[in-house]
């Protein structure tokens, strides 16, 4: 199974950051169920570099922590087979941490996730860092709480991850520069 794909909009976000434009880097993680497009639960379709959003976003959350990371054999953080520790020293590796609490991700068969940055915005009446039902549209999706998707930086499709118990889900985006 391939690792996540850096999208074209992710490359645009990187270019804007390098130019010093006033946009924020990776700020949000979205999770989705892929709708009926994921017909084989153990072999999801490959994500596309052309994607600007998830196929079917169900929930989105702002990061709760960003920190520099350093590879370390005794590190408590394990991502893709590599162990890391957090460090106050500037490194070329950054961890962006997201936590979906028990009630926030329950009932979702997570098949896709993505990291967003830039101009992400929620609808005006959303008072938390959590949003449900994807992108708002007054006719096609009036329950959506995401007003602007922002730039989809990285997207990954995964085999079904069925949440059957009340447990929180944590994602850590590790980015090397």
Domain borders along the chain are 5-176
Quote the CA–CA distance of 129 and 97 in Å, as a whole number: 13
pLDDT at 155 over 90: yes
Residue 84 phi/psi, 5° resolution? -135, 155
SS3 for 149? coil
Which pLDDT score, from 0 to 100, does residue 1 have? 45
**How large a percentage of the chain has pLDDT more than 90?**
68
Centre a 10 Å sphere on the Cβ of residue 103 and count the other Cβ atoms it contains: 10
Q: Do the beta carbons of residue 24 and residue 97 sit within 8 Å?
A: no
Helices and strands in the chain: count of H runs, count of E runs: 2, 13
pLDDT at 66: 95
pLDDT for the residue numbered 63: 96
Q: Which residue is listed with tokens 């090397």?
A: 176
- Distance (Å, rounded) from C-alpha 61 to C-alpha 27? 8
Give the pLDDT of residue 36.
78
pLDDT beyond 70 at 165? no
Left, alpha or beta for 13 (phi > 0: left; psi -120 to 50: alpha)? alpha
**In the prediction, which pLDDT does 73 show?**
94
List C-alpha distances in Å: 46 to 4, 19, 40, 158, 172.
9, 31, 12, 9, 21
- 162 pLDDT band (50/70/90 cuts)? low
Nearest Cα residue to 169 out of 53, 35, 38, 61? 61
Mean pLDDT over 37-52 rounds to 88
- Average pLDDT along the chain: 90
pLDDT tier for residue 70 given thresholds of 50, 70 and 90: very high
């Amino acid at each position: 199974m391939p690792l996540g794909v850096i999208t074209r909009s992710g490359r645009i976000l990187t270019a804007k950051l390098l130019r010093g434009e006033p946009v924020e880097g990776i700020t949000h993680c979205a999770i989705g169920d892929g709708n009926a497009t994921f017909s084989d639960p153990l072999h999801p379709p490959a994500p596309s570099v052309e994607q600007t959003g998830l196929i079917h976003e169900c929930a989105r959350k702002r990061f709760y922590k960003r920190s520099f990371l350093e590879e370390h054999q005794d590190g408590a953080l394990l991502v893709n087979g590599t162990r890391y520790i957090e460090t106050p020293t500037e490194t070329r590796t950054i961890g962006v941490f997201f936590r979906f609490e028990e009630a926030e991700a329950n009932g979702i068969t997570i098949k896709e996730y993505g990291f967003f940055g830039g101009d992400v915005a929620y609808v005006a009446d959303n008072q938390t860092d959590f949003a449900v039902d994807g992108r708002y549209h007054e006719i096609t999706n009036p329950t959506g709480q995401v007003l602007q998707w922002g730039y989809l930086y990285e997207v990954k499709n995964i085999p079904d991850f069925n949440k059957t118990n009340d447990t929180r889900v944590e994602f850590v985006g590790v980015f090397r520069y």
